Structure 1
Amino acid sequence: MGRTAQPAALKLLKGRGDGKDTAGRPVNQGPAFVRTPPDAPEWLSDEAAAEWQRVVPGLTRLDLLKPEDRAGLASYCEAWATFRAASETVQREGLTIEAKQGTLAHPAVAIARNAGREVRAWSAHFGLTPSTEQALARGADDGGEDDNPFA
């Protein structure tokens, strides 16, 4: 499996302008989805709902969301909630437990690790990783320097 393709909006934000990506290739805009944020599912856990409220405004501002992103965004938010709950359990109860077999890793350690991987994967899809943030920051505003030979 190769790398996952980035949404056209991310390519354009990171790109050279005039509808071109970082390599100067034209960006295929893809289907003309309506760019409005999805409604949060009513069934989200409290922590997932708080994460939804935290990330949706920024993603909306960048025109990265559409109603069809609801399931993916809900999955990201619930993975975050699971990661947080498991991490808090490890902080409260420790990394290990005592069992008949001896000292074992606390089950919440594996839960946090797996949820963290899921958060990282979903974050990349929505442009929420630190590397994507840096790329978006570079592409979002060139400071108005029209004579910049590197823009």
Structure 2
Amino acid sequence: MAKAAAPATLRLLTGRSPGRDSGGRKVASGPSFRRVPPTAPEWLSEEAAAEWARVMPELSRLDLVKESDRAALAAYCEAWATFVEATRTVQREGLTIEARQGTLAHPAVAIARNAGREMRSWAAHFGLTPSTEQALARGGGDDGDEENPFAGSG
């Protein structure tokens, strides 16, 4: 699976110096969208709405979301809700079921696995994965060029 390109804001937050990414390359800022946080769709499930409320303050604070990100963020939140529901079903009913063919994996196991993959994919778009969090922590406020023997004069 191909890795999605990180938004310019994330690349700049993890960069070596202003306007440069972690490799020292200039980062094009891209189009200057208005960074107005989207409102949660009314139709989100209860669990998805709770996830929206949990992640939106940080995404907004970092200026990583805009109104047109609403659909992608809703998809992330609903994938989370599906993952939670399937995981709870497995916890309640077990990993396997008895069928005419014998013992089979519970269908909720595959649902949780698929929802988890989808959730991680969407999460990466918003910098919500642990590896992105670590990259942001390392990159915050560090211009790094003084210690970089490979940094050139532009």
Contact kept in structure 1, 2:95 and 2:109, CA below 8 Å: yes
Structure 1 residue 18 displacement after superposition:
1.7
Structure 1 residue 146 displacement after superposition:
8.4
Question: What's the TM-score once normalised by structure 1's chain length?
Answer: 0.93
Once the two structures are superposed, what CA deviation does each residue of 1:94-146 show, in whole Å capped at 9, x if it has no partner? 0000011110000000000000000110111110111100000111233xx98
Contact kept in structure 1, 2:17 and 2:145, CA below 8 Å: no
CA distance in 2, matches of 1:114, 1:107: 11
CA distance in 2, matches of 1:23, 1:93: 48
Structure 1 residue 2 displacement after superposition:
4.3
Percent identity among equivalent residues? 70
Give the residue type in structure 2 aligned to 1:39. T
| Residue of structure 2 equivalent to 1:149 | 147
| Residue of structure 2 equivalent to 1:40 | 40
Structure 1 residue 42 displacement after superposition:
0.3
- Structure 1 unmatched runs, 5+: none
Give the residue type in structure 1 aligned to 2:91. Q
| Residue of structure 1 equivalent to 2:9 | 9
**Which stretch has the larger CA shift, 15-24 or 100-109?**
15-24
| Residue of structure 1 equivalent to 2:64 | 64
Change (3 A) 1:129 1:147: closer
Contact kept in structure 1, 2:79 and 2:115, CA below 8 Å: yes
**Which stretch has the larger CA shift, 85-94 or 10-19?**
10-19
Question: What's the TM-score once normalised by structure 2's chain length?
Answer: 0.91
| Residue of structure 2 equivalent to 1:83 | 83
Give the residue type in structure 1 aligned to 2:101. Q
CA distance in 2, matches of 1:24, 1:146: 9
